[in-house]
Amino acid sequence: MRKAALIGFIFAVSIAGRAQSTDVALTTGGYFAVSNPADFGAAFALEGTVAHNFAEIPFAALGVEVPIAGSFKSSIPTLAGTRLARSYTSLFITPGLRLRLAPSFPLSPYFAVGLGYGRFNRTFFDGSTNAQSTFAVDIGGGLDLKVLPFISLRGEIRDFNSGGVDISTLALGRQNNVFVTVGVALRF
């Protein structure tokens, strides 16, 4: 009887885990341009992510994800040629891979990496704007706390390494755009 109950429990957990292989999240927080020497603070940030696990073992799951992250009216001044911009907004779309540890546990950390697109839209002091697109690399991680069977609270940190703001850094002339966000994830 115990063996049958154990086998039934393992079967139920594997079905429930498989049934929750996709998640959609919406998080909000702050944007920091950490490699920018003129960094005067943070900007409001918003991120949405869709992810789907394609390989699972008892204590890990590997999946694909598409994060879309944006910052709003950063007060960090930037250069565009010889003109100084008073603020800018940013958008990053970097599809990639996510490794989730302990996906069926109440507390589940994950790590992500992706490649994709970055876009900066500068606003100059005279009111004119200038947009520039760039290649971006995404490295990040987070932690999900399950509060209901299909709902988690999520905390996340992502670094979108990109060019495009025309502020040179010491390493490769690229900028680290760090998003620190919290929010909700729905699993189905």
Q: Is the pLDDT of residue 75 over 80?
A: no
Q: What is the 3-state secondary structure (H, E, C) of 101-149?
A: ECCCCCEEEEEEEEEEEEEEEEEECCCCEEEEEEEEEEEEEEEEEEEEC
What's the domain count of the chain? 1
Which residue range is the domain that position 50 belongs to? 2-187
Q: Which of 25 and 35 is assigned the larger pLDDT?
A: 25
Domain harbouring 53, CATH code: 2.40.160.20
pTM: predicted TM-score of the whole model, two decimal places: 0.81
Q: Is the pLDDT of residue 182 over 80?
A: yes
For the segment 136-150, what is each residue's pLDDT rounded down to a tens digit?
999 999 999 999 989
